[in-house]
Amino acid sequence: MNRLPNFSGRWLLLAGLLLLLRLPAVAHPYHASIMELRYNAQKLQLEIALKVFSDDFEQALSKGQPTIISFDKTPKAQLHALVTQVLRRSVQFGTKPGEALPLTLLGIQHENDAQWLYFSVKLPKPTQRLTLRHSLLLDTFPDQMNVVNLEAGKKKETTLFREGEEVRELAW
């Protein structure tokens, strides 16, 4: 099932995940991210805000690195390069299956025990649908849930991505 069944169910899931994302890092026995995805037809781009738990994302960033990566201590240029690398590998947008349009990291904002990652994706032409492969942190946490809230024109939709359900078509 790729879409949540009804409006109230989507908001209940979103409210629950938002509440859980605000709890202290030591208290989360689950792994989740929330993406706010907006289609900007005038600029032909996607505008994305992605909220992740700091400790979970730092663990993923640290894989294969000689030292532990920290949002607080790692030099900004190195941190941005690693975040961009992880995003490009695990969050891919396309106007057709298999396509991976380039994304641009715009910034990172700290919020309690989480980070907001802001990035954009330029689109080659106007579109009414996208393919999204969202496997963020699934290689680190098999129970990871990635919630995507799409806003395109007058349409708002929530979609859940998890292990075995990493690729979805989003249409508006």
pLDDT digits (tens, 9 = 90+) for 60-89: 999 999 999 999 999 999 999 999 999 999
Does a structural domain hold residue 99? Answer: yes
Q: At what angle do helices 76-90 and 54-62 cross, to 10 degrees?
A: 90
Letter string b/e over residues 18-44, b meaning 16 or more CB atoms within 10 A of that residue's CB: eeebeeeeeeeeebbbbbbbebeeeee
Tokens of 143: 């129970």
Total-model pTM: 0.82
Does a structural domain hold residue 44? Answer: yes
Smallest CA-to-CA distance from 54 within 99, 114, 105 is with: 114
> Taking the chain (172 residues) in consecutive chunks of 10 residues, what is each chunk's mean pLDDT?
50 56 54 97 97 96 94 96 97 91 97 96 96 96 96 95 96 94
What was the pLDDT predicted at 30? 80
Percent of the chain with pLDDT over 70: 83
- Give the structural domain span for 91: 7-21+30-171
Does a structural domain hold residue 1? Answer: no
Smallest CA-to-CA distance from 153 within 37, 7, 6, 13 is with: 37
Distance CA 95, CA 123 (A): 8
Q: How many domains does the chain have?
A: 1
Coil/strand/helix, residue 35: strand
Distance CA 26, CA 13 (A): 21
Does a structural domain hold residue 2? Answer: no
